[in-house]
Chains A and B, each alone.
Chain A
């Protein structure tokens, strides 16, 4: 079973609109961390935002915010006022708090911002 599920392989959004990229996760650990990364066409992975499982507030970083719904095991990335430069691949990832020291990635969502 997939631990990180990103159900939207691709999305097209008009410039200046808000965007929500979906991410659901599967873990039995109480302690875990969730990450979002952006990968432009250049290929380099860029860290966007982090949410810890015990964080009471949703994480925010500039135009990025995380809609964290723990009971539903979802951690959707919200991009406000989208820009052409937001066109990229976006990955959701998770580190669990157990002994398994690795980060698991979802398959990604390709976002296209239309002028």
Chain B
């Protein structure tokens, strides 16, 4: 069974703090993703990575950065947390994608981290 774990289920931080969200997968997947989920907005992609040390901006990268030093670990960093970053953060992974979409593109998600910034 693919397992994606996230470092915390719930996190409370103060405005201006640096926040690290960690995600680890154990299936040797090449691709990893960070989303935030807000009511009425669905899932929005923040960043993704298709290989170690590689990263690509998603739809809402502002205020975030990422790090992927090892294949199994993808970290999301909030350099200076703000109240509008209060959200649910979801990490996902998949094997490397081929040119054409296929069922193996299915994303495996972690349990999520509910972050509150006060």
Query: Which of A67-75, A76-84, A105-113 forms part of the interface with chain B?
Result: A105-113
Query: Which of B16-24, B38-46, B61-69, B78-86 forms part of the interface with chain A?
Result: B38-46
B8 within 8 A of A: no
Interfacial chain B residues near A33, Cβ < 8 Å: 101-103, 105
Query: What number of A residues sit within 8 Å (CB to CB) of B?
Result: 27
Q: Cβ of A32 and Cβ of B101 under 8 Å apart?
A: yes
Interfacial chain B residues near A106, Cβ < 8 Å: 42
Knowing A9-B40, A35-B106, the reply to whether A45 touches B101 (Cβ < 8 A) is no
Q: Cβ of B101 and Cβ of A101 under 8 Å apart?
A: no
Interfacial chain B residues near A97, Cβ < 8 Å: 99-101
Knowing A43-B88, A101-B48, A102-B48, the reply to whether A52 touches B42 (Cβ < 8 A) is no
Interfacial chain A residues near B110, Cβ < 8 Å: 44
Interfacial chain B residues near A93, Cβ < 8 Å: 43
Q: Cβ of A108 and Cβ of B103 under 8 Å apart?
A: no
B95 within 8 A of A: no
Interfacial chain A residues near B58, Cβ < 8 Å: 102
Q: Cβ of B111 and Cβ of A50 under 8 Å apart?
A: no
| Chain A to chain B contacts (Cβ below 8 Å), 19 pairs | A9-B40, A33-B101, A33-B105, A35-B107, A37-B109, A43-B88, A43-B112, A44-B110, A53-B101, A91-B43, A95-B105, A97-B101, A101-B31, A102-B33, A102-B45, A103-B45, A104-B45, A105-B43, A106-B42
